[in-house]
Structure 1
Amino acid sequence: MYEEAAPPGPLRGVARCVWRSASESPKRIVPDGCVDLVAGDGEVFVAGPDTTAWSSVTTPEALLHGVRFTPGRAAAVLGVAADELRDRRVPLAEVWGRRGEVLAERVLAGELTPAEAVVSRLPEVAPPDPAVAALIARLDAGVARVQEAVAGAGAVPAAERMLWPGRDSHPGTGFPPTGQATSPAHAAGPPAGRARSTLPATGKLSPPDLAAALEDPAGPITVGERRLRRRFVQAVGYGPATYLRVARFQRAVALSRGAPGLAALAAAAGYADQAHLSRDCRALTGLTPRAYFRGSSTVDETVRDRRRSA
């Protein structure tokens, strides 16, 4: 069983969905570009953005609940760069310190849902980085090449730039780069082990950018390609090329039910050809397209569960 539901109102724009899942056998989890907060079977942990499939193994009759963050938003909520969580399952207590330990205990006791635990964090969360959000939208729209998506994605209104961190902090999260000291404003965050606290609602502009914003608040400020890619990695967990690969495969998963064959599925999902789909499917799931989309593997229940809950 796998079921998704729209996130509660406070999580709109932060979470893609809330979900619950139960399985009598190992379940293959394939990359989707998201970070999840997962609770159940005696633990509460953060499942970082994946680059390949992993198997979720639970005790019989265990029910898991989770919050799936919107791509690019988990870093701000969790207070840690998403690339530090890549291909990892990290206990919440390691991310939020003592605060995370207490929240995990309350979630496992049934006093809080994972969604409510995330909502408790929202007052401290910085707004999204508009340049990263624009690039994610372009990649999700199905561009053929990363360069097409990057071009122009970094040009955002100066007024929006006022709401996200300056060049000396991780965009969209508000915690400083690794190895740099925190300011008094940052020091007030949660005492997490590797986590960083979140930025106040406004960030800093460099003098040239500030002058441009004052001269024309509605005019665009361009973020350099290298800087945009770095911000993307910190917010999403990996680079635009990997995200495009994952997004394209997820599009194939969504279209697989009505596709008459693998060649048609590849074309509909935006692949160059069927061989392109096969390479990505093997890399992301460990299975051939025929086995993943049509097979009856006892490990791979994800597609069937999604269809059942649709």
Structure 2
Amino acid sequence: MTGRRGTAHHDGVYRELPPPEALRDLVRCLWSGTGSTRTIVPDGCLDLIVGDGRVFVAGPDTAPWRSEIAPGRPIHGIRFRPGNAARVLGVAADELRDRRVRLTDLWGRAGRTATDRLLTDPSALAGIVAGHVRSGPDPAVDRLVGRLRGGASRVGEAMADLDAGDLGVGERQLRRRFTVAVGYGPATYLRIARLERAIGGAAAASGLAELAHGAGYADQAHLSRDFRELTGATPREFLGWR
């Protein structure tokens, strides 16, 4: 599997489902599987996860980490679209960066109630999220996320294409809002988006040089450096290429 909780190296079952229509501006997918020893790589998302007798939020990662759910144990989650988790969780995404936080620590009594329900019925994830939406989306942040995911080679290019002034927000303020909403600044998110493009395009690439060019890297060395830092492996190791 690929994506937020994905890697080319895994031994657990995993599947994704689209969110309910009412949550599609907020949630990327619902997912379920079993615990494994897979390496989990950054993708700019936050997840609300039910597994191993607990309910917790996995914040936006800047480095690879190992799954904390025991192999073979069932696990369920809901993955927020980049920049939208705070609308439900009520805490800035950058406060959750590289952290795993129990829902009870974020929501108090409401978190205990939600945890009890989810441990009994993980399929209630979408309903719990729908019932805790606190605000609407930030159009400026959403549009910048889209530009960075869409293939911009530099943050400045994405900003120029976006023209933040037309949205009634200056560049400095937009960068600050982006960090609060996404969990890290646009430059870090661009690296992660580029990695996702590389992973997604690997099947169609004839080699690392073509893969690097197609994903927007300056060259093959740039791709290799980011893979090592964000996945803990070389591109060939991570992708299973010989």
The counterpart of 1:229, out of the listed 161, 168, 175, is: 175
| Pairing 1:272–2:218 present | yes
Cα pair 1:22 1:62 within 8 Å, conserved = yes
Cα pair 1:154 1:224 within 8 Å, conserved = no
The counterpart of 2:44, out of the listed 33, 41, 59, is: 33
The counterpart of 1:141, out of the listed 150, 175, 191, is: 150
Q: What's the CA shift for 1:88?
A: 0.3
Shift in CA distance, 73/154, structure 1 to aligned 2, threshold 3 Å:
farther
Q: What's the CA shift for 1:221?
A: 4.8
* Unaligned 5+ runs, structure 1: 157-219, 297-310
2:80 aligns to what?
A: 69
Q: What's the CA shift for 1:12?
A: 1.1
Shift in CA distance, 295/93, structure 1 to aligned 2, threshold 3 Å:
farther
For 2:195 and 2:74, the matched residues in 1 are separated by 27
Shift in CA distance, 288/221, structure 1 to aligned 2, threshold 3 Å:
closer
TM (norm. structure 2) is 0.90
For 1:111 and 1:260, the matched residues in 2 are separated by 41
Counterpart AA for 2:156: Q
* Unaligned 5+ runs, structure 2: 1-12
For 1:221 and 1:106, the matched residues in 2 are separated by 40
- 1:243-282 matches, within 5 Å, as 243-282=189-228
Q: What's the CA shift for 1:67?
A: 0.5
TM (norm. structure 1) is 0.71
For 2:180 and 2:87, the matched residues in 1 are separated by 10
- 1:54-93 matches, within 5 Å, as 54-93=65-104
Cα pair 1:154 1:228 within 8 Å, conserved = no
| Pairing 1:108–2:127 present | no
2:9 aligns to what?
A: none
| Pairing 1:287–2:201 present | no
Shift in CA distance, 42/295, structure 1 to aligned 2, threshold 3 Å:
farther
- 1:171-210 matches, within 5 Å, as none
Q: What's the CA shift for 1:155?
A: 3.4
For 2:233 and 2:72, the matched residues in 1 are separated by 27
Q: What's the CA shift for 1:154?
A: 5.3
The counterpart of 2:141, out of the listed 127, 132, 136, is: 132
Counterpart AA for 2:173: R
- Which fold has the larger relative contact order, with Cα–Cα distance below 8 Å and residues 6 or more apart in sequence? 1
For 2:161 and 2:230, the matched residues in 1 are separated by 29
Superposed CA deviations along residues 32-86 of structure 1, whole A, max 9, x for unmatched, are: 0100001011111000000010000322421111000011100111110000000
2:18 aligns to what?
A: 6
Counterpart AA for 2:22: P
Shift in CA distance, 3/112, structure 1 to aligned 2, threshold 3 Å:
closer
1:209 aligns to what?
A: none
Q: What's the CA shift for 1:295?
A: 6.0
2:73 aligns to what SS in structure 1?
A: coil
1:178 aligns to what?
A: none
Identity of aligned residues (%): 55
**Number of residue pairs aligned between Structure 1 and Structure 2:** 230
Cα pair 1:30 1:52 within 8 Å, conserved = yes
Counterpart AA for 1:246: I
1:251 aligns to what SS in structure 2?
A: helix
Shift in CA distance, 103/249, structure 1 to aligned 2, threshold 3 Å:
same
For 1:113 and 1:280, the matched residues in 2 are separated by 37
1:128 aligns to what SS in structure 2?
A: coil
CA RMSD of aligned residues (A): 1.6
